Chains A and B, each alone.
Chain A
């Protein structure tokens, strides 16, 4: 997998990790309740694996659909002709590598609000601020790497972070 291809699972994993965790523990962070390493590891692992499995299903089915379309264009009777060769192995490897990157980055993304919340007792707003700052940095990175409007990406990701924080506080999940 080349570097641009890794950008998708990396950004998806990081944003998913931060956003899911914000949704789960924003109530705890805002109320200033203490939590331990066990909760940090459980939430980060759960969030990372859910994101990872979702990524694999979405990415592999996308690649299979691409192969299916190509086989029709090549007037093949069945996409199995392409699947049983090198291309079939390549798309499985690509989906697997993307899943690993997405899972690891999702775990890392989850740790941002969780670890800051654990070490900064009664520093809930600071933890949320750090998570939002991470989303802003991620938005800036994505905006730059896709030659887009950096300010727009930052505003969009921070806005999403604020929305899920409000929703998480309202839903009171953890």
Chain B
């Protein structure tokens, strides 16, 4: 399976790990070419983020392990794209 994009809902402590440490840990995973960590909400002691990872042949298990090992918590896997090219999600008009 050639994993090309993973979008995750991830929560972490406010100060640990830092956004840079978290992004750095993800970037070191095999197959990852680019990573975006966006803060979605902030609490007194926690921070919610949406992490978008793109690459070619991303090692999914290693990606999950690296996020958990850094001390962040994965809430949900919101999007995953596999194959020879990236496919955008098409929402049906209601």
Q: A residues within 8 Å of B by Cβ?
A: 67, 69-70, 73-74, 76, 81-82, 85-87, 90-91
Contact = CB atoms under 8 A, between A and B. Distances in A.
Contacts of A76: 73
Contacts of B25: 86
State the main secondary structure of chain B at its contact with A.
mixed
A111 B93 CA distance: 78
Nearest to B25: A86
Interface stretch (B10-18, B29-37, B55-63, B83-91): B10-18
B46 interface: yes
A74 B17 CA distance: 13
B70 A74 contact: no
Interface residues of B, number: 17
Interface of B: 11-14, 16-17, 21, 25, 43-46, 68-71, 73
A86 B71 contact: yes
Contacts of B69: 85-86
Given A70-B16, A74-B11, A74-B13, A86 B70 contact: yes
Given A86-B17, A87-B17, A90-B16, A73 B71 contact: no
Contact of B70 (A69, A73, A85): A85
A76 to B, nearest CB: 7
Contacts of A74: 11-13, 46, 73
Q: Which of B13, B17, B44 has the largest count of A CB atoms less than 10 A from its CB?
A: B13
B43 A73 contact: yes
A87 B71 contact: yes
Q: Which of B14, B69, B71 has the largest count of A CB atoms less than 10 A from its CB?
A: B71
A73 B11 CA distance: 10
Given A76-B73, A86-B69, A87-B17, 5 more contacts: A70-B16, A70-B46, A82-B71, A86-B17, A91-B16
Contact of A73 (B17, B46, B68): B46
A70 B15 CA distance: 10
Contacts of B16: 67, 70, 87, 90-91
